[in-house]
Amino acid sequence: MTDMQDHWQGIFAGKEEGNLTWFQETPEVSLNLIANSGVGADARIIDIGAGASRLADALLERGFPNLTVLDIADEGLNKIRNRLGGDAGRIDWVVADITQWTPTGQFDLWHDRAVFHFLTDPDARAAYRAALEATLSPAGQVIIGTFALDGPEKCSGLPVVRYDGETLGRELGPGFRLEESVPDGHVTPKGGVQKFQFSRFSRV
């Protein structure tokens, strides 16, 4: 187990889902952007760094059966699996560090809420882009949520890189076109507000 895996395993093992700072009862911004992407119910969707997110639950409820959920920490994925019960068998589960993952298939939509902003090293960002480019279909869409330019400088004890839609687009490169960028003030379980931005890109 790497140091980063150990870090996130400890985070998820040590807290109940509702006490995690990024907990959302309903991932409304992500769901709205997925709707805006126009992907059909047969779309192959991957959620990068899902942790204990409820996005998979919501997508299953909305009739999206082709789901893959990836996270570096199996403890986080276990929280989703336990919550879904028998429906967990409808999802492909991947325990992997996205910067070291070798994709084995293609996806029509790539969703990432708060993984990319942890990649402070340029080589890690390059590895992320390589995985994205290798697995996204030619007409695929990308949704990435990060802390906004005026958002927190750290999360879970780790430094982050903050973005807006344009700076995030420059990181992804000319193969991706920014379609929309949405601000989001996430309210933590303790009542604080974390300023996020979510951006949707099309592959070109």
* C-alpha 138 chain-centroid distance: 20
Check whether 97 has a pLDDT greater than 70. yes
48 vs 33: CA distance, rounded Å:
15
Q: For the chain, what is the mean pLDDT? A: 92
Distances (CA, A) of 144 to 10, 13, 117, 149, 183: 25, 25, 9, 14, 12
Which pLDDT score, from 0 to 100, does residue 19 have?
63
List of residues 6+ apart from 89 with CB closer than 8 A: none
At 104-143, the pLDDT tens digits run: 889 999 999 999 999 999 999 999 999 999 999 999 999 9
Which whole number is the average pLDDT over 36-45?
A: 97
DSSP states of 56-125: HHHHHHTT---EEEEES-HHHHHHHHHHHGGGGGGEEEEE--TTT----S-EEEEEEESSGGG--SHHHH
- Kindly report the backbone phi and psi dihedral angles of residue 112, in degrees, each rounded to the nearest multiple of 5, phi listed first: -145, 110
Answer whether residue 18 shows pLDDT above 80: no
Please, what is the Cα angle at 27 between 4 and 46, to 5 degrees?
55
Instruction: Give yes or no for a contact between 61 and 84, defined as CB atoms under 8 angstroms apart.
Output: no
Note the pLDDT tens digit of each residue in 153-197. Answer: 999 889 999 999 999 999 999 999 999 999 999 988 888 899 999
Q: Is the pLDDT of residue 22 over 70?
A: no
Give the pLDDT score at 1.
53
CATH H-level, domain 3-203: superfamily: Vaccinia Virus protein VP39 (3.40.50.150)
pLDDT of res. 108: 98
Which tens digit of pLDDT belongs to each residue from 66-87? 999 999 988 889 889 999 999 9
Considering the chain, what percentage of its residues have pLDDT values greater than 70?
95
- pTM summary value: 0.94
Distance in angstroms (rounded) separating the CA atoms of residues 175 and 193: 33
